[in-house]
Amino acid sequence: MQLELGLKPDQTARFPPFSESQMNDQASSNPAENPLRAYFDRNPGRLMYKWEHYFDVYHRHFERFRGQACTIVEIGVFHGGSLQMWRDYLGPQARVVGVDINPRLSDLGEPGIEIIIGDQGDRAFLRQLAKQVGPIDILLDDGGHLMHQQITTVEELYGNVKPDGVILVEDTHTSYWREFGGGLRASYSFMEFAKRLVDELNAWHSRDPNSLSPGVFTQSARSMHFYDSIVVIEKGAHPKPTARMTGTPSFPLDQPVNEVLQKT
């Protein structure tokens, strides 16, 4: 029989509840297995403030850059602790750049760590930042968390992220907070912006080019990942997908095998 979810646009899907044991299985990783979590727990440097489930996401998407010559740009400096963590995690070859609107944070620069002062919501500043920093391997937005700031940052710096780079926007729960310019399913929130990028990611399969056709994002983004309060974009060449068959047919090829089964 054919399964139909039958959800209306304003409805939420319902799933069986998690048991307590299943929830425990989903707990954060062992610090011994995640060097970022281990660093945070023993923090020998400046102050940091992080949601604990973020470290697994960081490690999953940033591990491939460890020990490599790379550039990470983190928007939002706070006390400078995370900049020191990235330096320790990525290694001495890494260039760590912190961006913040607060001028007094310029004093937090140190060998291997640069501080640039500016407003992430200002497109002119972001364009100047792109010229100043050059190609970016990791772009991490932990800045002001306002909707226009997050959207503007991705729009303006996407092209500056290397073809195999990664963009991570965190604290996206502010998309549901009206005081940050958000609201559930508000068309102007960062989460709704990200959902529209999912359409762009799949645009090769559109059968209505007047409403959706492959563009720059389609051809340069390999994947998107949604986590609690984090959206990740993994860049990579994304040509038009192809499909083919291999193996011996089990039925004549002119006999459909995916037809909808009729009730008897």
pLDDT, position 256: 79
Tokens encoding 34: 């995640």
What is the pLDDT, as a whole number, of residue 251?
Answer: 85
Per the structure, the complete domain to which residue 60 belongs is given by: 32-173+223-235
- Segment 186-213 shows an average pLDDT of 95
The more confidently predicted of residues 5 and 234 is 234
User: Which residues, 6+ apart, have CB-to-CB distance to 258 below 8 Å?
Assistant: none
**Tens-digit pLDDT profile for residues 14-38:** 777 767 666 565 555 566 789 999 9
Q: What is the mean pLDDT of the chain?
A: 91
pLDDT tens column, 171-194: 999 999 999 999 999 999 999 999
Which are the catalytic amino acids? 145
The pLDDT value recorded for residue 32 is 73
Give a yes or no: residue 122 inside a domain.
yes
Specify the number of domains making up the chain.
1
pLDDT confidence of residue 5? 45
DSSP assignment of the chain? --------TT-----PPPPHHHHHHTSPPPGGG-HHHHHHHH--SS-----TTHHHHHHHHHGGGTTS--EEEEE--TTSHHHHHHHHHH-TT-EEEEEES-GGGGGG-BTTEEEEE--TT-HHHHHHHHHHH-SEEEEEE-S---HHHHHHHHHHHGGGEEEEEEEEEE-GGGGG-GGGT--TT-TTSHHHHHHHHHHHHTGGG-S-TTT----HHHHHEEEEEEETTEEEEEE---PPP-----S--SS-TTS-SSPPPPP-
Which pLDDT score is estimated for 60?
A: 98
Q: Which amino acid is at 198?
A: V
Residue 77: inside a domain = yes
pTM, two decimals, is: 0.89
pLDDT at 258 over 90: no
> In this predicted model, what pLDDT tens digit does every residue of 82-111 receive, in sequence order?
999 999 999 999 999 999 999 999 999 999
In the prediction, which pLDDT does 16 show? Answer: 76
Q: What is the residue-wise DSSP string for 143-170?
A: S---HHHHHHHHHHHGGGEEEEEEEEEE
The answer to whether residue 86 is domain-embedded is yes
In a domain? residue 64: yes
Domain annotation covers residue 16? no
pLDDT in tens, 37-90: 999 999 999 999 999 999 999 999 999 999 999 999 999 999 999 999 999 999
Q: pLDDT value at position 241?
A: 96
In a domain, 8, yes or no: no
Q: What is the pLDDT of residue 2?
A: 38
Higher pLDDT, 8 or 142: 142
Do the domain assignments include residue 101?
Answer: yes
CATH number at residue 55: 3.40.50.150
